[in-house]
Amino acid sequence: LRHSDPLQLTSLLIQSQREYEHQCEANGGVCQGMSNQLTLLGTRENHYDNMVRMYSNCSVVMENLEVTYALEHQDLSFLQSIQEVSGYVLIAMNEAATVPLVNLRLIRGQNLYEGQFALLVMSNYNRNLSSATLNYTSGLRQLQLSSLTGMNTNICHQPGMFTYRTKTKP
């Protein structure tokens, strides 16, 4: 292989990318993850599409798992394949009722949100601003973490917004 042949080099890069994608699919998938924190990437629909592309068929997230700005009607079932996260898990600014992380076993916390949290759940609701009482009209009701057996550091959640249960040993 000569480095001066751009067509041959491009062909090799495309072949390597296809082999990598095939290997990820065969192994259940390894994905990079995100470090956007609370930044909205374009519209909420664009942001959702980015999450779907990033986390679909992914079992191991190398950086952080950020589930943010999901709307009530958007399907988050693509998150069910995730088993392990190397960094933090951020679940914030969502109107979706359920975040199905049913196969997430381990949050390593090698990178912490704001240097403190391995799991941060916050501001997952939609307020009815036209109501005099500012009632919550939609938002997170279930955070499905039934397989979570290990987390290396702190958890923070917003009290009163939802209840969560952990699997108890018989």
Closest to 86 measured CA to CA, from 59, 103, 110, 69: 110
pTM value surpassing 0.75: no
Domain ranges of the chain: 32-157
Distance CA 170, CA 3 (A): 61
Residue 71 exposed, middle or buried by CB count within 10 Å (0-12, 13-18, 19+): middle
The residue ranges of DSSP E strands in 32-116, in sequence order, are 60-61, 65-68, 84-85, 89-92, 98-100, 106-107
pLDDT tens per residue across span 104-113: 999 999 999 9
CATH code: domain 32-157 is 3.80.20.20
Do 144 and 112 contact (CB within 8 A), yes or no? no
pLDDT tens per residue across span 114-129: 998 899 998 887 765 5
